[in-house]
Amino acid sequence: MANTKIAFSASLTTSDPNVRPVVIIGQVKHLLKVPFEKVKCKLQPRVTEEVYNAAALNLQPSPTDTCSLWLSNATLAALPTKASRHNTPSRGHSISRIVKSCASGGDEFFLIVCERANAFASACAVARAFPLYSRKSGVGLTKRTVTVEFIFVGENSEDPLSDKDLQCMTDTAYAIRLAAKIVDIPCSEMHTDAFIQEITTVGKELGISPKIVQGEDLDKQGFGGLYGVGKCAVHKPALAVLSHTPEGASRTIAWVGKGIVYDTGGLS
């Protein structure tokens, strides 16, 4: 799905399900607050008001439920009614599952009906359904655009998403998919040299030049432990540092993580 572009929109656009499929997702209590008049721009001329209202009233999520409005090109999907301590008010885990199961494979719309406060979490949930890495044959060969739109209900429902909000969603969706890609790629491909390339690419986007210490230089600079567990690998162990030094900063904060792609299991 590397050729899938995710776009976020602050307003609803007019589309025909016969041309671009649409999936409307929300909790039943939220879906029932949205009149057909508000969503008809995504459904006409294929879906009537009578069909839409009947589908919304007949949704019985356990924990989720879907109802076809017109073939497989227009779908109404209900999120769980209850939230346990293991999930969130946005029901993000279920949004990801619904998006993944209902995705058509081409250009399409996902319309999220939610409270304004849950828009960001819902956007992140959609991003999770479209990984950048796959080794399945035929996957990701065709470029497509998935557009995510929102209808807000409840508190602050009249407060639209700003350009800053949309950019934040876009950047976070990219970060989620990138992090998943790095984890999903097997170590035979995501070895230390490939990892360094990913780090360099991110650094370039942020205007940061990473400091890379690799191979025997690790031992020379006192990183014997890191060098010892990976020195036998074809792709030598490395330490990569990305630093941001804002003007006027008074404290140094370090985030340290391990990207294990090869390990002998000990220093011996």
Q: pLDDT tens across 34-58, in order?
A: 999 999 999 999 999 999 999 999 9
0.75 cut: is pTM over it?
Answer: yes
Q: Does residue 106 have a pLDDT over 70?
A: yes
Q: Residues 29, 30, 35, 39: what is their CA dihedral angle, to the nearest 10 degrees?
A: -140
Per-residue pLDDT at 20: 98
Q: Which position has the higher pLDDT, 177 or 263?
A: 177
Give per-residue pLDDT as tens, 183-204.
999 999 999 999 999 999 999 9
Are 69 and 76 in contact by the 8 Å Cβ rule? The answer is yes
Residue extents of the structural domains in the chain: 4-184, 187-268
Q: Does residue 125 have a pLDDT over 60?
A: yes
Confidence of residue 253 (pLDDT cuts 50, 70, 90): very high
Q: Does residue 263 have a pLDDT over 90?
A: no
Q: Which CATH architecture is the domain 4-184 placed in?
A: 3-Layer(aba) Sandwich (3.40)
Give per-residue pLDDT as tens, 7-32.
999 999 999 999 999 999 999 999 99
Q: Does residue 1 have a pLDDT over 60?
A: no
| Residue whose token pair is 């999220």 | 112
Per-residue pLDDT at 267: 54
The rounded mean pLDDT for the chain is 93
